Amino acid sequence: MEVVILGGSRQVGRLAADAVEQLVRRKPDAVLGLATGSSPLPVYDELAARHGQGLDFCQASAFALDEYVGLPAGHPASYREVVRREFTNRVNIAPENVHVPDGTAADIPAACAAYEEAMAAAGGIDLQLLGVGTDGHIGFNEPSSSFASRTRIKSLIEQTRRDNARFFDNLGGVPHHVITQGLGTIMAARHVILLATGAQKAQAVRDLVEGPVAAICPASVLQFHPHATILLDEAAASALKLADFYRHTYENKPAWQGL
């Protein structure tokens, strides 16, 4: 696990966008894993700007991490719409190459299995973007989630519903269930980049980076990932005991290692 501490969310977004750009230039048909929420928005803004300067996504494909269950098609808070609005409609990824779990499916388990099959058929995720919840969840893998889990339906804890209520008219409008890629699915991605900004994420960041690997903090499973990059601003890094070491390591990193 590499921990990189930067000055603010714009720097975090730029560095993550650098990794995506390098991947897409090296492998034009790259498979991207897309997160929603506030953390990846600077990344998407940066990638949209770079697309305007010639970065080509026409051969790439993308899979969203999760989707609410039961929101009608076109609902502005559905992750299908968020992914389109914030990223894929701003670049030239073909619409048929953008995949989101089907939260309106009549047979949810079958839809989850089909989503796993689609990722496998695409060759697996090359680079997965992640945020982290204040309780340490990634995707919608809430505390106590199995580290071996695959795409499935999950119930949201009330803290997560409260955290996400800002995207809805009120708390009552936030669904109680989601489809999410599992922790085992996320761990199968070849490169994982987790972004966290703001003091409200400091405890979760400390738990995932320096705490024990435990189901109470699902993101801690990334300690076992062979290529996990944790991008933080100063506020999100404020509880880390080894912050100075992480800064020193990044400042003296050989250029050939990349991100």
Active site residues: 66, 135, 137, 142
Residues 232 and 4: beta-carbon distance below 8 Å: yes
CA end-to-end span of the chain, whole Å? 11
130 forms bridges with which residues in the sheet? 194
DSSP notation for 3-50: EEEESSHHHHHHHHHHHHHHHHHH-TT-EEEE--SSTTHHHHHHHHHH
In degrees, to the nearest 5, what angle opens at C-alpha 196 toward C-alphas 26 and 80? 70
Element (H, E) at 52: helix 41-52
Q: Which of 42, 22, 68, 23 has the alpha carbon at shortest distance from 196?
A: 42
What Rg do the C-alpha atoms of the chain give, in angstroms?
Answer: 17
